[in-house]
Structure 1
Amino acid sequence: MYFTISGDDYTANGDIKMNYEDFKFQVLDKERKGVKKILSFIGNLFINDGSKADEDGFRYGTISTERVQHKSFFNYLWINLKDGLLDVLTGSGKKE
């Protein structure tokens, strides 16, 4: 995964690219002892498994977030990465 983020005290923008194959996820119950199979199945319907990547195997996404002012820098970094990962996994994956 490669990402570039630039921002100020209020907003951030950037881009992200990621290489992965056969991506699947599982939704765990609250005690983390079992898997919620129906939610995992539905979620995997919306996630691209990585097969629709460019010739180098990368999928691309964009990052656009607003900062929560009373939280730390690391929270700001995490919400930027979360936004980018969501775009890579569910978006078209093409470089704009």
Structure 2
Amino acid sequence: MQNNNSQQLAQVCSDMAEEGVTPTVGLLRAKAPFKVSVTEAIDAIKYFNATSKNQGKAKPKDKEPSLASLSRKVDALEATVQRLEQQIRSLLDSQK
């Protein structure tokens, strides 16, 4: 785990752990800022797990969600509400 991509992947794993999310191959590949092979993701997670256990960072100390995590959830909920409102308007219009 020497190169820059590996360091970035380890940082993504660390960010996920700080948000209370356990890094997985699928999540890492989805959140990585570049295309990541399954093998690279596995290696990065192994490296992260090995180093985070030594540093005590494997899991957050508290279960409080991060501000970024809450913000993403609020954005998703707002989008869902907007979509539902449009569907309701569409149904009401079709009944006229």
| Bucket of the pairwise TM-score, normalised by the shorter protein | under 0.3
Q: Which has the larger strand fraction?
A: 1
TM-score (norm 1): 0.26
